[in-house]
Chains A and B, each alone.
Chain A
């Protein structure tokens, strides 16, 4: 089947909501080993699309295949999803959280987790309630990247963080991304620092694809950086 050639394949993907950020008729063909930027203002449907790919939301219409199959328990085991919301229990310590998630995923890599923790200046005995917002975001990334997942979905990993945390997070993404067997989709509404990470980008507007192409093709066509193009599209 055609969809097995792609890490993510969708056709006419639609999810309606009583609220605003639905997605309508999304066609995607995301190749293995690529890093994609999912760009758009708040409410454009980025999180909804990521949740459909993660298998956390069931689409109303259209087709979606993740790693060659409709999202199911097997694909969920191969997908790491970093949600935008703060899901960490405040009464736990970092060590407790890591124990907890390591038991949930068969692809958890303890050595990588320890290395990432150190790089992010975090330690096991820190209580979640004592962490700043930037530190909690770094911990979320440690949890997502310590797995050897085939598909990594990061929902707004940089949003609202201080510059040093943002820098650290971008460094880790570049350092840990394994193009030989991983694919990554990263959503953001702040494009500047992340644009050199992307092979390809999707611009979402009101739940529809506004632009989709490789980053270098868009740069060449428009003579603009992705960041400037973003401002132009959504001005």
Chain B
């Protein structure tokens, strides 16, 4: 379910949140699913349990998960949660990409044409399904 290689130059708790969001958007996780316990996830990812705790707490604050006392942490159910998240993540990525391209001096048509040729050439690496 998760990419277990972290980029150590970025805050790790943010990467944990991102991996969970991505798994949700991809469909590897669904709303209502129970997340692994903090301890299990810490051992699996080989990171500090407090880092996982912080990631879970932040996800709770932004409303991605809810913790039920004594039962664990669950991905929140709701209308269009996944859809909204996907749209957010996609538009974030695209905006960043467009800004970068423009900073290289590409014009609008240039960007569109590069994307349309590249889109068939580039393949995503297989996601590891270590957790499921």
Contacts and interface: CB of A to CB of B under 8 A. Distances in A.
Interface residues of A, number: 25
Nearest to A170: B46
The A contact surface, by secondary structure, is helix
B46 A196 contact: yes
A34 interface: yes
Contacts of B43: 171, 174-175
B49 A174 contact: yes
A196 B8 contact: yes
B46 A225 contact: no
A225 B8 contact: yes
Interface centre among B12, B42, B45, B48 (most CB of A within 10 A): B48
Contact of A216 (B7, B11, B53): B11
A127 interface: no
Contacts of B87: none
Interface in B1-27: 6-14
A224 B51 CA distance: 18
A170 B45 CA distance: 12
A225 B12 CA distance: 10
Interface string A159-195: 0000000000011001101010000000000000001
A196 B53 CA distance: 14
A52 interface: no
Contacts of A225: 7-9
Given A171-B43, A174-B42, A174-B43, A199 B9 contact: no
A181 to B, nearest CB: 13
Contacts of A220: 10-11
Nearest to B8: A225
B101 to A, nearest CB: 22
A33 interface: yes
A179 B49 contact: yes
A145 to B, nearest CB: 14
Contact of B51 (A33, A171, A199, A217): A199
Interface in B26-51: 42-43, 45-51
Interface in A210-235: 215-217, 219-220, 223-228
4 closest Cβ pairs, A-B complex: A225-B8, A216-B11, A196-B47, A225-B9
Interface of A: 33-35, 170-171, 174-175, 177, 179, 195-199, 215-217, 219-220, 223-228
Interface of B: 6-14, 42-43, 45-51, 53
16 contacts: A171-B43, A171-B46, A174-B43, A174-B46, A174-B49, A179-B50, A196-B45, A196-B47, A196-B48, A197-B48, A199-B51, A216-B12, A216-B51, A217-B11, A220-B11, A228-B8
